Amino acid sequence: MKILVIHGPNLNMLGKRDKSIYGERTLDEINALLKKEGKALNVEVMTFQSNHEGALIDFIQEQADSAQGIIINPGALTHYGFSLLDALADSKLPVIEVHLSNVYRREEWRARSVIAPVAEGQISGLGWRGYITALQVLASKLKAKPSR
């Protein structure tokens, strides 16, 4: 079973970006923790980050047929990324949306997600642990019901 973990714009700057909001861990550290958890769950975790919406879409289109689920932190594309939304919908894969920060406790515009309607669920405000929880939940759901 393969799960794609996709990180959108500016998430390559984790560890340098405002640590009081996004935490101390770098993206490499978070990806390593996800791969470790994937091993424990017997799930292949494939990670990808881009600052470009088109590159995120290309990745989803290329990988969707060989994957069973998607975990995505779309960064600011959460709030206006309609092409990304379409690509996620077209993938027909179950999607979990993750945010490191609590987007409902910040600026008003961050409380709107255009991605949420295609997501099975959303985790917001739990830092890097949100990704691990998303992986555990998605793997468990997929194992319970292996088909799309």
**What's the CA dihedral at 104, 68, 84, 19 to 10 degrees?**
40
CB 6, min distance to ligand DQA, A: 12
CB 13, min distance to ligand DQA, A: 9
Is there a contact between 73 and 99 (Cβ–Cβ < 8 Å)? Answer: yes
Q: Is 99 a catalytic residue?
A: yes
Is there a contact between 52 and 69 (Cβ–Cβ < 8 Å)? Answer: no
Q: Is 80 a catalytic residue?
A: no
- Using only the alpha carbons of the chain, give its radius of gyration: 14
Binding site for ligand DQA (CB under 6 A): 10, 73, 75-76, 78, 99-101, 103, 110
CB 103, min distance to ligand DQA, A: 5
Query: Annotated catalytic sites, by residue?
Result: 22, 99
